[in-house]
Amino acid sequence: MKPMSDHFNTSQVSFTVEYAPDRIDSRRHEHFIMRLLRATGETDAEIGVLLVDDEELRRLNREYRGVDAATDVLSFSLREGEPIGQIHVLGDIVISGETAARQAQVFGHETADEIDELIFHGYIHLLGYDHEGERMDQWNREETSLRERLLKQKAPYVPKGMITAAETNITEGRAD
């Protein structure tokens, strides 16, 4: 698929589907990514998103993280230590379409919304944040800030993110 750019900035987005449990509206996800880029001041960046099956994501997780288990999303940052605002490739986000469909059913929303949730999660990783250990506070601040910026943009979909999703799960009695 041809990389997308729009009037928001000169960034490039490549959204590739190798596996999809449902019909995928690539343009919706490309526009969402462009909004993320604009919200974080990444006006001259490139980012790739790849939708694969569980087996492929498990293989990548084993190969790059040494974890032989399926997961929902992996991020591969290419900007380590690079300042925001310069022309660069941010990296790639790889999502399991199968897992996204299952999680969408559990959380009671559309698969497309879950894919955007996973893009949002992966994007925060590409920005250099981690949600494990002592770094969770930084993650929470960035996630909250990015959600607020998307709301100000009047984005058609604003992800719940880890914080809101976890709070909702506790309130509704679901385990995460």
Place of tokens 């990783």: 125
CATH code given to domain 4-129? 3.40.390.30
Q: How many CB atoms lie within 10 A of CB 29?
A: 22
Q: What's the pLDDT at 165? A: 57
For residue 46, list its beta bridge partners: 12, 89
Q: What's the pLDDT at 7? A: 45
Q: How far apart are CA 70 and CA 59, in angstroms?
A: 8
Question: Who wins on pLDDT, 33 or 133?
Answer: 33
pLDDT at 168 over 80: no
pLDDT at 8 over 90: no
> Lowest-pLDDT range, 64-73, 80-89, 143-152, 153-162?
80-89
Contact 122, 99 (CB under 8 A): no
- The two tokens of residue 28 are 């919706």
